[in-house]
Amino acid sequence: MLSLVIPVYRNEENLSRLLAELGSLRQHFQDDLEVVFVVDGSPDRSLEILRERLPNETLNSQLVSLSRNFGSFSAILAGLTVGTGDYFAVMAADLQEPPDLILRFHQMLKSDTADVVFGYRSKRSDPWLSDAASSLFWLIYRKLVVKEMPKGGVDVFACSREVRDHLLRFREVNTNLIALLFWLGFRRHFIEYERAPRHAGVSAWTFVKKLEYCLNSIFNFTDLPVRFLLIAGATGSALATLAGLVVLIARLRGQVPVPGYTVIVLSTLFFGGLITFGLGILGQYLWLVLQNARGRPNYLIAKSERYAEADASAARSTRTASGR
């Protein structure tokens, strides 16, 4: 059986199309399929709609509601925890990733060709500025942090139960699940797909969340910022020493009418900015240490419900009677 985890946040307008696509996916699925919806403290009617629709859908499903919004990675972890399948896959509720990608994931895992399957984007239908910023981030991330990461990054994946179990042993907060999967190793396979434009609703993936994702992805998996600070400090000290020698020679030769003014100003500006920047980097690492030392859970489940697959003819009759 495959457990398909779908985090849900501000997806009210996409749910009808999502359920229809999942019904079609179920018809083409030769093995058992379990869909785990995780409502991540969504402020719209997503939870109410799913609670109303799922009993009449031709899907074996679970509906998990978190006590508040914990973020997409925490919602995925919750879904992976309650899922009961032999294999696990993750899919976005906005359907920007093609649902038939799940079939290809499952075939790859079932054939025992790979333990983890990543879906990477060959093309994305996003605004050019967002596309350019994303490409730049993943370029830097591939060069300096996770060298195996595909060019377009990874949003969806599937894995075996063994990999799922190892992943759940991590207790890190504010982390990046995709980078953790690369850290785990195991046999990997990559499947290319084209990301579709969003059909309904507004993406909750705001600039602030993107920036938070960027920082967490870097600070949790590399000491590069600290090394950069060390190199910058060493370089600044060398330049300050060189500048001091130049000023000393100029002073001895009587070429400095106001002794030390330029060097003092430049040194103050440079080292002031460097110290402030360094404190910010160290503060970020200290914050991560504090968050992990507290041992708070990544999520809290408020309620979990299970729905058995409804009879196809009965489900169609119910949808017709309700005007859907």
Give the integer Cα–Cα distance in Å for 103 and 91.
Answer: 12
Question: For the stretch 251-276, what's the b/e string if a residue is b when 16 or more beta carbons lie within 10 angstroms of its beta carbon?
Answer: eeeeebeeeeeebeeebeeeeeebee
Kindly state the tokens that stand for 98: 């093609």
Q: Please compute, for residue 3, the number of CA atoms within 13 A of its CA located in the half-sphere on the CB side.
A: 24
Structural element, H or E, at residue 54: none
pLDDT band at 320 (very low <50, low <70, confident <90, very high): very low
Segment among 5-19, 143-157, 159-173, 297-311 with least mean pLDDT: 143-157
**CATH code for 2-221+299-321?**
3.90.550.10
Average pLDDT over residues 194-216: 59
Q: Which residue has the higher pLDDT, 15 or 153?
A: 15
Beta bridge partners of 123: 194
Cα 232 vs. chain centroid, distance in angstroms? 30
Beta bridge partners of 158: 89, 117
Cα 93 vs. chain centroid, distance in angstroms? 14
Bridging pattern class, strands 33-39 and 2-8: parallel
Give the integer Cα–Cα distance in Å for 100 and 144.
Answer: 33
Check: pTM over 0.85? Answer yes or no: no
Cα 175 vs. chain centroid, distance in angstroms? 8
pLDDT band at 257 (very low <50, low <70, confident <90, very high): low
CB 304 within 8 A of CB 79: no
Q: Please compute, for residue 197, the number of CA atoms within 13 A of its CA located in the half-sphere on the CB side.
A: 6
- Other Cβ atoms within 10 Å of 93 Cβ, number: 22
Kindly state the tokens that stand for 62: 């679970």
Residue 72: the pLDDT is 81
Give the integer Cα–Cα distance in Å for 204 and 9.
Answer: 8
Average pLDDT over residues 277-288: 72
Domain ranges of the chain: 2-221+299-321, 224-294
Angle between helices 100-110 and 15-28 (to 10 degrees): 40
Structural element, H or E, at residue 275: helix 261-294
Neighbouring residues of 46: CB distance < 8 A, sequence distance ≥ 6? 8, 9, 10, 11, 12, 15, 39
pLDDT band at 314 (very low <50, low <70, confident <90, very high): very low
Rg from Cα positions in the chain: 26
Average pLDDT over residues 22-30: 82
Bridging pattern class, strands 301-307 and 60-66: antiparallel
**What is the average pLDDT value for the chain, to the nearest integer?**
75
* Residue 85, pLDDT above cutoff 80: yes
Q: Which residue has the higher pLDDT, 160 or 153?
A: 160
Structural element, H or E, at residue 21: helix 15-28
Residue 77: the pLDDT is 87
Strands (E), 73-165: 87-90, 116-123, 154-160
Residue 88: the pLDDT is 93
Q: How far apart are the first and last CA of the chain?
A: 29
pLDDT digits (tens, 9 = 90+) for 46-71: 888 888 888 888 888 889 888 888 88
pLDDT band at 203 (very low <50, low <70, confident <90, very high): low
